[in-house]
Amino acid sequence: MRVLPLRMRILPGEGLDSWLEALGRRNGLAFSTFLRVMGLPRHYLTRPLVSGLPATVLRGLEIRTGLPAGRLDSAVIGSDFPFSPRRQRRCRFCPQCLAEREGRWLLKWWLPWTFSCTTHRSLLHDTCPGCGEGARVRLPGHTLRFPVGTCTLGSRLASVCGTDLTSAELLPLASSHPLLAAQRRVDALLADPSTAYSVLADLNQCTPWLMHTINDTDVQSMGQAVRERWHRRPLATRTPADRVKPLGAAVNGVIAHAALPFLDTPNDSIAVHVVHGLRTRRDTPNKVIPRGMTTEQWSQLSPGTQRRFLHAGDQIMGALDRVRFSSSTPRARVPEPGEDSANARIRHVPQALWPGWTVRLIPREGTKENLFRGIAAALLLLPGEPALRARAVTDRLGPHLPNAMTVILQRALKSGHPDVLTALCKLAHHLDDHGSPIDYERRRRLIPAIPISPDQWRELCFRTGTQPGEQLSAKTTQAPRYLNAQRYLNQLLTGADLTDPRHPLVLRSAPDRSRYFAFPPSLTLDQRDALHQHAIGILHDLNIDEPLTWEPPQECADGLDLPGRHLDDIDLEEVRRIVITEQRAPREAARELDTTLTHIRFALEQVPREPREWGRSSSLGSWRLHQQARMVLTTTFLQREYVDGDKSLAHIAQETGIPRHIAVAHARALGFAIRRTRKPFPIDETWLREQYLAHKRSTLDIAQELGTEDETVRRRLKHLNVPLRPPGVHSRTIMTKIDTSLPRDIRSAAEGTLHGWLRLHRFQIAMRFPSLDSAAHHLKAEPNALVTQFQRLERDIGASLFERAAFGRPQQPTPQGRRLLRHLGTDRAQALMTASLPHDDTSDPPDDRVLEAARAKFRVRRSPGPPTPFNDIAVERVRITKPTLALLRDLVTRPQKEFYGAELIARTGLDPGTVYPQLKRLERAGWLTSRLEDDNSWMNRATPGRGPGKRRNFYALTAEGIRAARHETQHRVKGRASA
């Protein structure tokens, strides 16, 4: 590769294009020819030679020009330099600098954020004063006749502009001008390319927003030239051509002056203050991206700048966006699409917020504790979540929660404690950084919904000297105490929200919730420790090596102004004095100690409760007695004292101080046969079976022979599983036999039965009376007993014996009954009956006076015939009873009005079972007409949320029915008057 014979040094700060142009002139070659000699393509004439050149090209130029390797790297702009979207192929210039450098162009003049000359304190020119085109849009490749520093734009030699740019008018700026200060700041940035590229890239993305945000007041003090150029800035961005229109030096300077205070400063508070001042000019509330900045421009901002924008917009964004972007914390950021921080964090979050953080964050008033704990825990999933719908995230933990998240956050903000949002974000960040020693997601999946059974709760309470508090009556709706123990343990282990309707132990009503809130403070320290040990045992059984409970450290809230104090920052002795000693409501304690009711409730769980002393009659006393019986009444002891020593359990109970019923239950549980006497009566089982089964002896005969009671023999037979014969004649040695000469019906009723002759005797006497009631009175028996006995007679004989008395008709024997009475009247039958009946069961036959009195009392009534029809009224006449008359009297007062049954019942006071049959009877007789209720009336009566019910049946008197009703009511009045 040949080296140029004539060479010249590159000036400090000079660009590659300027040096190559000067080198070509030094060698007497036009620029296009010189590029061909240097091995560069001709199209480089139409593009800047200061950026985008491959490293191989630069190394080749250094060899040809005799420069050390890498020297040209400072003469070009890096390929990663953040040019503005309004990138242009032109170079700014300072006429005086250009003249002093003999037409040699500085590299930084190509940079979009070089807008003023700090050496000559002037604004750079953007265009040629002669042709108005951008400087060096095309390099002077076609001629050498024009001196350096001349505008060589033009398509032909004759049309070249030729304006001397070194003689252009200087645009002076005062030494304290803001644009000079901004330029010095940019120059200082360019000394560190890595920092400069980041800041200038953010400046490019902020340019459209700042062009719409900076107002005339900001440029008022920058001079007339700057103001004029600022007002001529291109604002239209409707087309791609509009969006790449170049910005003037003054416009870039004003934008840099406004942006560098928040882009190029290590102090976040200052930067946030500046951005906040700019955002409040045009931004609307609840807007994350500043107005005038596109989503693409926002996404290309550096994380640090985004964080400052979020900090500045924290007060104007919606509450949920403030949590999602963590805009009030140093870790504010916009989540990346597809990021799923909530899914990784949910395993560390309980369904109800930790108690210690609940008392710190809950507002003093206006928020229910359960609702706040559930929503606050769900909100911990929101920071860093890209999903726009908060419910899409929080429903993973609390789908039962109402749409009250924004309301809860707004109440926290309006309470004068906006740091609640910051605390929620910091808690989420702490979980992201350090995790949690408890995997709540696993516990919610593995731990049983019922962590302690009623029997385990009873045993736990008895061991700790307390009452379990079971439900004593099935009529009460109050939940048993063990249910609240189950809820307490489940919430302790899993952090469950007990208002979730999917939970098996859900709190179902406000009283239920109040009783559960009162449960933890009512526990004694021993009870609470026992419950915690039970919970630890559950974790151990599930192979879960985790602490029982855990909360994020309170250091997460250091420096934050929160509504509540630390959970331990309360005087427990004062709480004990107010709530326990003075028996005042916890709400009064909260008011007196200047805290929340929730704080008092959790504090009461730390106040020790002294256990009560319970007597022997309580369930705790009974348990203690059972424990004593288990220790004293061992198998060896009962064998020695009860079986071998022949002591009764009552005697043993008196000696040991254990109640007899407990001793009996314990002995039965150990398998001992419980005897009611001192010792069972000795009876040979084989002999007893032989006497009762083989010889058919009665239990009474056997008992008399053994010298014991009949019932003792019967119990022993039952113990031997021997079926007992029915009592009566079946147990007698000789069955009752009757002379076969007696009629069959008498033998069927008396033979082989008990009391058969008594039933026949009573039937004989009863048939002389007109009814069973009068017969029962004479026999001094119950009528029902006679009915049962006579039914037995009819069943034994197999025929009906008499017809029952009816209205106005006395009872009469049937032909079979009369035949039985004739058979019973024989001397033989009467003698056997008298011999078989004990004297107490015989009754003298009734005399004529008794029978006459019974018949007189049972007088025969005439059955009323059907009512005579009306002579001139065309309806059927009905029987008028007292209820019918009351109904008709009410109807004749409203003859033309429709009515329904319930209305008539309310007016007359009659029973519904009387009114409705009467209405049906009057309708059949033609007195009334009826119709069903129409649809409109039926539906209008419907109760909201329920069906309309049964249709009403409306009645109305017919014209003939009105005449008949008036006739009957007037006739009754006349009849009463004549009487």
Does residue 785 fall inside a structural domain? yes
Res. 388: pLDDT tops 60: yes
Res. 319: pLDDT tops 70: yes
Does residue 675 fall inside a structural domain? no
Q: What is the pLDDT at residue 732?
A: 47
Same domain, 769 and 853: yes
Cα→Cα distances 443→428, 491, 558, Å: 20, 11, 30
Q: What is the pLDDT at residue 237?
A: 57
CATH number at residue 834: 1.10.10.10
Does residue 737 fall inside a structural domain? no
Nearest by Cα to 734 from 687, 708, 696, 779: 696
Q: What is the pLDDT at residue 181?
A: 92
Q: What is the pLDDT at residue 367?
A: 77
| Average pLDDT score, the chain | 82
At residue 117, the 3 state secondary structure works out as: strand
How many domains are there within the chain? 5
Q: What is the pLDDT at residue 734?
A: 38
Res. 143: pLDDT tops 60: no
CA dist 744 and 750 (Å) reads 10
Same domain, 890 and 928: yes
**Cross-sheet strand order for the sheet of 171-172:** 116-117, 122-123, 171-172
Mean pLDDT of 683-711: 85
pLDDT tens track for 89-124: 678 899 999 999 988 889 888 888 899 999 999 999
More confident residue, 407 or 885: 885
Res. 281: pLDDT tops 70: yes
Same domain, 844 and 757: yes
Q: What is the pLDDT at residue 839?
A: 57
Same domain, 628 and 600: no
Q: What is the pLDDT at residue 36?
A: 81
Res. 979: pLDDT tops 50: no
Mean pLDDT of 682-689: 87
Res. 740: pLDDT tops 80: no
More confident residue, 350 or 242: 350
CA dist 250 and 592 (Å) reads 65
922: Cβ contacts below 8 Å, ≥ 6 apart: 878, 928, 961
Q: Compute how many other C-beta atoms are within 10 angstroms of the C-beta atom of residue 928.
A: 21
Q: What is the pLDDT at residue 654?
A: 82
pLDDT tens track for 590-628: 888 888 888 888 888 777 776 666 666 676 667 777 787
Res. 45: pLDDT tops 70: no
Does residue 889 fall inside a structural domain? yes
pLDDT tens track for 161-182: 888 888 888 889 988 899 999 9
CA dist 321 and 425 (Å) reads 11
Same domain, 829 and 847: yes
Same domain, 964 and 919: yes
Q: How confident is the model at residue 473 (pLDDT cuts 50, 70, 90)?
A: very low
Query: For the chain, what percent of residues have pLDDT higher than 90?
Result: 11
Same domain, 771 and 828: yes
**Which of the listed ranges 326-340, 433-447, 507-521 does the model predict with the highest average pLDDT?**
433-447
Does residue 257 fall inside a structural domain? no
Res. 223: pLDDT tops 80: yes
Nearest by Cα to 462 from 476, 479, 482, 435: 482
CA dist 878 and 394 (Å) reads 76
Per the structure block, which two tokens stand in for 817? Answer: 């009954």
Q: What is the pLDDT at residue 623?
A: 75
Q: What is the pLDDT at residue 679?
A: 64
Q: What is the pLDDT at residue 677?
A: 60
Task: Select from 578, 593, 610 the last residue of a domain.
Answer: 610
Res. 733: pLDDT tops 50: no
pLDDT tens track for 544-603: 999 999 999 988 888 888 888 887 788 888 888 888 787 788 888 888 888 888 888 888
Residues in the chain: 979
Does residue 967 fall inside a structural domain? yes
Q: Which domain holds residue 932?
A: 882-978
Same domain, 755 and 710: no
Same domain, 591 and 624: no
Query: For the chain, what percent of residues have pLDDT higher than 70?
Result: 88
Per the structure block, which two tokens stand in for 671? Answer: 């398998």
Q: What is the pLDDT at residue 116?
A: 93
Same domain, 926 and 826: no
Q: How confident is the model at residue 183 (pLDDT cuts 50, 70, 90)?
A: very high
Does residue 388 fall inside a structural domain? no
Angle, helix 912-924 to helix 901-908, in steps of 10 degrees: 120
CB-neighbour burial class of residue 99 (10 A; exposed 0-12, middle 13-18, buried 19+):
middle
**E strand or H helix at 22:** helix 16-26
Does residue 787 fall inside a structural domain? yes
Same domain, 795 and 837: yes
Same domain, 766 and 806: yes
Mean pLDDT of 217-238: 80
Which residues are paired to 631 by β-bridges? none
Q: Are 112 and 171 in contact (CB under 8 A)?
A: no
More confident residue, 868 or 217: 217
Mean pLDDT of 427-432: 90
Res. 735: pLDDT tops 50: no
